[in-house]
């Protein structure tokens, strides 16, 4: 078919004037009956690579696809360019017997050019006998990463595709396509489909128009999302959550706050799901809040932002989901909220998996966490994961992430690099990053004990630096290709020529230290990343007012309003008590008790300086948090112990104490003396009172250091709640 004018056919069938990247070469290879392996990012035109040759080849192309929504969308696209709906069909469990017979008739009659099937359909005897009679041009395996157990979306049905395809038609041309594949996954796809001689095509994974941003996930995440959305009114976006419950709660919260949002998850009735999907595509709503299934095959080019309310299970998932933004080359903002608690939840979900499956998934989660915590170029880190190099200074889109926009100070680590390399040599290249860090910092774990690593001369040799520092060093070494991960051994670190040469010929090696997300409250590392810069002059005025009131009341300044509350006031300029109530850490009680002089100062300042205030100050609640707050208050009135309250609501003790803190710090008075009396004796309580009344900061880390580990951090947090309650509520 080399005599075909492919540009002419592209224009005639799809209306495009030219091909993207290597599309033309891929199509020519398929038309010459050669198998191909295609790795192309979302939005690069992957589907066209098999659709155009399917339309130009005699017979029917069988497209194997994992999701019904993806099939439906692609069939609609192909039918949209043809005068007959017979040109493309799906053959799956969504059809009744009459519809199945009609599909078979169209395929045998030669009317159908593309037939979309689920992998399990190819094992049904009735479908197999029918397909054996059909004239098949080639097989296209879409989402081919599902075939690999090393991928992020392994599906056992995909493992049998080679034998299924051979059973229907031997020596078939096979086109394997995926938008996300690490080198290990790519090799697995080729091996399992039996296409060793296939031509390989790999487009760049770089999406230079996408801006990557990771922020700490705090108790105010919903407010943060509202603030983000209010600045992007009438723009289309997707918010991903891990659970259906979160999808329902967040979409309801957004609607209450004036955002045109709809939910999408597998728990909705099919007709509601389809209706919501169509509403998003037809721009009858702005935001869809969804579980990860949404977006597979949804070709909406002008999605302007993708938000991850919960961190995905892998970097492959992250890349695929963020890839749904800016497919037209326009703006695409990718915002993720990260906390270590989310990582712990993902790890808990794996408790019932087999050892090998658990290890594989833990390795994927570890890479996702490392991406969030890194302070290097996010684009460089992401592309390196997919086996692609990137110049973080001059590369296309180099400045399009939070870390490059707000770079951290670089640290020279020549000696530490040599130390890490020598440790890996000494321990015979048999440990993962977390084990190497434990050895360097002298932290005991089950593995260090069972392997007697504490007897190793390197154990604790790097304890002058914390684990975050050593994680940064090793991750930078990985990205610079000085060490590599053995994927099939679940992430064991190996050396190479580059690392061994470094010992004898060292050169200056600089890193930036990873972000610390485990600080209490808002992560310190991220204060400089606030989307708006706080008004330093107003902040100084408010600090002075707080100091004046604190002196008058005889209490520490933080007992009036905490520093982060003053920072938010300097960003949002609340000028009424109602607006002040919505500032983080204020609430109704404190707003009424201390707020009048603050809103008066802010109002005067706004008028004097002609300031335009943001329009997202008043955030409405759906009432779900109110019911939990009421339950906690009633339980405390009944003098129930914290663990009993937490268990009755199915939440962790740490979550309950955080809720208590939110209630009390917002100005509601609670009597938790009975809880404190269970933990601390009178002398201890007096010691803690003296510390907090004299301290200029209520930061827990400082208190833990002051008492040198005498008290648990959670217990100190509970006492601090009592202290704030007693002196300021």
The neighbouring-strand residues paired with 510 are 412
pLDDT tens digits for 677-728?
989 888 888 988 888 888 877 778 788 888 877 888 888 889 989 888 887 7
The pLDDT value recorded for residue 281 is 83
Q: Is the pLDDT of residue 523 over 50?
A: no
- Tell me which of 625 and 201 has the higher pLDDT: 201
Q: Would you state the pLDDT for residue 152?
A: 58
Residue 106's pLDDT is 94
pTM for the model: 0.68
Taking residues 100-106, what's their average pLDDT? Answer: 93
Q: What are phi and psi of 212, to 5 degrees?
A: -100, 130
pLDDT of residue 410: 87
Confidence of residue 604 (pLDDT cuts 50, 70, 90): very high
As separate numbers, helices (DSSP H) first and strands (DSSP E) second, the chain gives: 33, 17
Q: In the predicted model, what is the mean pLDDT of residues 642-666? A: 85
pLDDT of res. 295? 55
16 contacts 77 by C-beta, under 8 angstroms: no
pLDDT of 298 > 70? The answer is: no
Give residue 619's pLDDT: 61
Distance (Å, rounded) from C-alpha 151 to C-alpha 149? 5
481 pLDDT above the threshold of 80: yes
pLDDT at position 2 over 60? no
Percent of the chain with pLDDT over 90: 33
Residue 377 confidence (pLDDT) above 70: yes
Distance CA 214, CA 402 (A): 7
Pairing type for strands 510-512 and 303-308 reads unpaired
The CB-based long-range contact list for 315-318 (8 Å cut-off, 24+ gap) reads 315/152, 315/364, 315/367, 315/368, 315/371, 315/382, 315/385, 316/145, 316/151, 316/152, 316/153, 316/180, 316/181, 316/182, 316/364, 317/152, 317/153, 317/292, 318/368, 318/371
- Under the banding of pLDDT at 50, 70 and 90, the label for residue 600 is very high
Confidence of residue 88 (pLDDT cuts 50, 70, 90): very high
pLDDT of residue 531: 43
Mean of the per-residue pLDDT values for the chain? 86
Query: Is 44's pLDDT higher than 80?
Result: no
Lowest mean pLDDT among 32-41, 394-403, 580-589, 600-609: 580-589
Contact criterion met (CB below 8 Å) for 92 and 121: yes
Longest dimension (CA), the chain: 93
pLDDT digits (tens, 9 = 90+) for 240-288: 998 888 999 999 989 888 899 999 988 888 888 888 888 888 888 999 9
Residue 519 has pLDDT above 70, yes or no: no
8 Å CB contact between 440 and 537: no
Strand 36-39 relative to strand 199-202, pairing: parallel
Find the mean pLDDT for residues 492-510: 91
pLDDT tier at 297 (50, 70, 90 boundaries)?
Answer: very low
Which of 727, 728, 706, 704 has the alpha carbon at shortest distance from 714?
Answer: 704
Q: pLDDT: is 1 or 521 the higher one? A: 1
Q: How far apart are CA 381 and CA 403, in angstroms?
A: 11
pLDDT at 357: 79
Q: What is the pLDDT of residues 304-323, one digit of tens each?
A: 999 999 999 889 889 989 98
Structural domains in the chain, sorted by start: 6-202 (3.40.50.300), 210-405 (3.40.50.300), 410-512 (1.10.10.10), 532-609 (1.10.150.80), 624-728 (1.10.10.1390)
Q: Which residue has the higher pLDDT, 211 or 670?
A: 211
The confidence score (pLDDT) of residue 293 equals: 60
Lowest mean pLDDT among 441-455, 610-624, 657-671: 610-624
**What 3-state DSSP class applies to 64?**
strand
pLDDT at 520 over 50: no
Non-local (6+) Cβ contacts of 490 within 8 A are 359, 360, 362, 363, 432
- Once rounded to an integer, what is the mean pLDDT over residues 99-105? 92
């Amino acid at each position: 078919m080399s005599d075909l004018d492919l540009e002419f056919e592209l224009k005639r069938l799809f209306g495009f004037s030219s091909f993207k990247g290597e599309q033309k070469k891929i199509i020519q290879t398929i038309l010459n009956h050669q198998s191909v392996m295609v790795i192309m990012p979302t939005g690069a035109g992957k589907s066209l690579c098999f659709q155009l040759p399917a339309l130009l080849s005699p017979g029917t192309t069988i497209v194997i696809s994992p999701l019904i929504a993806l099939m439906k969308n692609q069939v609609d696209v192909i039918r949209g360019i043809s005068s007959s709906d017979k040109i493309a069909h799906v053959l799956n469990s969504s059809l009744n017997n009459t519809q199945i017979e009609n599909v078979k008739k169209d395929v045998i009659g030669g009317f159908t050019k593309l037939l979309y099937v689920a992998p399990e359909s190819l094992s049904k005897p009735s479908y197999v006998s029918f397909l054996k009679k059909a004239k098949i041009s080639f097989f296209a395996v879409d989402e081919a990463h599902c075939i690999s157990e090393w991928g992020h979306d392994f599906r056992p049905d995909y493992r049998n595709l080679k034998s299924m395809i051979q059973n229907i038609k031997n020596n078939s041309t096979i086109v394997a396509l995926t938008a996300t594949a690490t080198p290990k996954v790519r090799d697995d796809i080729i091996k399992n489909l039996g296409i060793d001689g296939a031509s390989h095509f790999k487009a760049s994974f770089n999406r230079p128009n996408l801006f990557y941003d990771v922020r700490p996930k705090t108790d105010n995440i919903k407010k943060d999302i509202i603030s983000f959305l209010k600045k992007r009114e009438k723009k289309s976006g997707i918010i991903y959550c891990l659970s259906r419950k979160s999808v329902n709660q967040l979409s309801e919260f957004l609607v209450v706050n004036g955002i045109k949002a709809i939910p999408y998850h597998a728990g909705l009735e099919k007709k509601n799901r389809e209706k919501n999907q169509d509403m998003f595509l037809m721009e009858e709503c702005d935001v869809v809040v969804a579980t990860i299934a949404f977006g597979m095959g949804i070709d909406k080019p002008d999605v302007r932002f993708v938000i991850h309310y919960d961190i995905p299970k892998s970097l492959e998932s992250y890349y695929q989901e963020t890839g749904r933004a800016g497919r037209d080359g326009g703006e695409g903002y990718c915002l993720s909220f990260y906390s270590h608690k989310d990582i712990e939840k993902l790890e808990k979900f794996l408790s019932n998996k087999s050892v090998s499956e658990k290890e594989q998934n833990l390795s994927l989660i570890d890479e996702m966490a490392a991406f969030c915590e890194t302070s290097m170029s996010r684009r460089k880190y992401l592309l390196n994961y997919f086996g692609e190099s990137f110049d973080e200074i001059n590369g296309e889109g180099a400045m399009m992430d939070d870390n490059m926009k707000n770079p951290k100070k670089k640290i020279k680590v020549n000696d530490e690099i040599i130390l890490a390399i020598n440790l890996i040599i000494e321990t015979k290249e048999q440990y993962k990053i977390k084990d190497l860090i434990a050895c360097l910092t002298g932290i005991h774990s089950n593995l260090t004990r069972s392997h007697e690593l504490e007897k190793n001369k390197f154990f604790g040799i790097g304890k002058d630096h914390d684990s975050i520092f050593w994680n940064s060093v090793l991750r930078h070494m990985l990205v610079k290709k000085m060490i590599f991960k053995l994927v099939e051994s679940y992430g064991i670190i190996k050396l190479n020529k580059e690392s061994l040469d470094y010992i004898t010929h060292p050169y200056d090696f600089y890193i930036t230290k990873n972000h610390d997300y485990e600080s209490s409250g808002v992560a310190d590392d991220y204060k400089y990343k606030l989307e708006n810069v706080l008004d330093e002059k107003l902040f100084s005025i408010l600090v002075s007012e707080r100091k004046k009131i604190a002196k008058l009341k005889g209490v520490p300044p933080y007992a009036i309003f905490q520093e982060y509350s003053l920072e938010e006031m300097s960003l949002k300029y609340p000028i009424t008590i109602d607006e002040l109530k919505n500032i983080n850490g204020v609430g109704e009680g404190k707003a009424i008790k201390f707020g009048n002089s603050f809103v008066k100062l802010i109002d005067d300042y706004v008028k004097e300086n002609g300031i335009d205030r943001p329009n997202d100050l008043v955030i409405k609640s759906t009432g779900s948090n109110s019911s939990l707050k009421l339950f906690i208050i009633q339980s405390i009135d009944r003098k129930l112990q914290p663990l009993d309250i937490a268990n009755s609501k199915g939440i962790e003790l740490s979550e309950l104490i955080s809720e208590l803190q939110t209630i009390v710090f917002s100005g509601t008075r609670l009597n938790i003396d009975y809880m404190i009396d269970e933990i601390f004796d009178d002398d201890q309580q007096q010691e803690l009172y003296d510390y907090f009344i004299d301290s200029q900061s209520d930061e827990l880390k400082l208190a833990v250091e002051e008492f040198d580990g005498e008290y648990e951090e959670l217990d100190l947090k509970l006492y601090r709640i009592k202290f704030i309650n007693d002196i300021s509520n």
